């Protein structure tokens, strides 16, 4: 399935659930487009064709053996469509995941960010309901959401190429529980119109 087909596919996405709670985020279009272009370069381009900020991020990821192995062995940009059951009701869900490492059942999501610290990055993940994305993707895969990781990419790492400047984060149980409640709340009011 192409990315365009995915966008049009009639199923509930994490983005739709997040938008239900955060409202319209078109004000952030420039940032979202930058993030999309950065993702494409990091996840789908050959190293030689990456620009310096992307190459530096790739190098930082590969400074830690396990993180580099996860990046190299993961399927990039995996699209999944699956049925999800919540409170005895079944829904058709979809997700487009940055990195899926089947062997270890790990999902990772790359997030460009302007956050100045790991705590600020973690706070942003909750503010923008990204914990919903973590749980939703994990539900689609049938994997444990405790094995969903963010790779936060602030401006500093794009210049330094150093692992110490990346933000690695995963949600605590309270955040995961809250995300599940938000998902259940959305699905409880969902009218069955997948085309919205």
Domains, the chain, with CATH or none:
14-189 (3.90.320.10)
Is the pLDDT reported for residue 19 higher than 80?
Answer: yes
Is the pLDDT reported for residue 148 higher than 80?
Answer: yes
107 forms bridges with which residues in the sheet?
Answer: 100, 148
Residue 26 vs residues 29, 33, 165, 181: alpha-carbon distances, Å: 5, 11, 29, 25
The dihedral over CA atoms of 125, 129, 132, 134, expressed in degrees to the nearest 10, equals -20
Q: Any residues with CB less than 8 A from the CB of 137 and at least 6 apart, and which?
A: 14, 80, 95, 97, 107, 109, 148
Is the pLDDT reported for residue 33 higher than 80?
Answer: no
Q: Which residue has the higher pLDDT, 22 or 166?
A: 166
| Percentage of the chain exceeding pLDDT 70 | 94
Q: What is the largest CA-CA distance in the chain?
A: 50
Residue 7: both structure tokens together = 């966008």
Q: Which residue has the higher pLDDT, 27 or 150?
A: 150
Is the pLDDT reported for residue 134 higher than 70?
Answer: yes
Residue 47 vs residues 40, 58, 155: alpha-carbon distances, Å: 12, 8, 19
3 state SS of 25: coil
């Amino acid at each position: 399935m192409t990315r365009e087909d995915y966008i049009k596919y009639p199923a509930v996405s994490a983005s739709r659930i997040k938008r239900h709670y955060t409202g319209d985020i078109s004000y952030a279009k420039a940032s979202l487009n930058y993030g999309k272009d950065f993702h494409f370069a990091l996840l789908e381009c050959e190293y030689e064709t990456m620009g310096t900020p992307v190459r530096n991020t790739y190098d930082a990821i590969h400074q830690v053996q396990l993180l580099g192995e996860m990046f190299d062995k993961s399927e990039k940009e995996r699209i999944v469509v699956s049925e999800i059951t919540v409170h005895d009701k079944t829904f058709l869900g979809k997700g487009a995941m940055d990195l899926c490492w089947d062997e270890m059942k790990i999902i990772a999501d790359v997030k460009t960010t302007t956050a100045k610290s790991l705590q600020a990055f973690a706070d942003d993940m909750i503010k923008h309901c990204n914990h919903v994305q973590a749980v939703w993707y994990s539900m689609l895969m049938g994997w444990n959401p405790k094995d969903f990781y963010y790779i936060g990419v602030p401006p500093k790492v794009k210049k330094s190429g150093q692992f110490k400047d990346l933000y690695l984060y995963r949600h605590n149980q309270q955040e995961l529980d809250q995300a599940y409640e938000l998902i259940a709340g959305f699905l409880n009011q969902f009218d069955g119109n997948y085309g919205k």
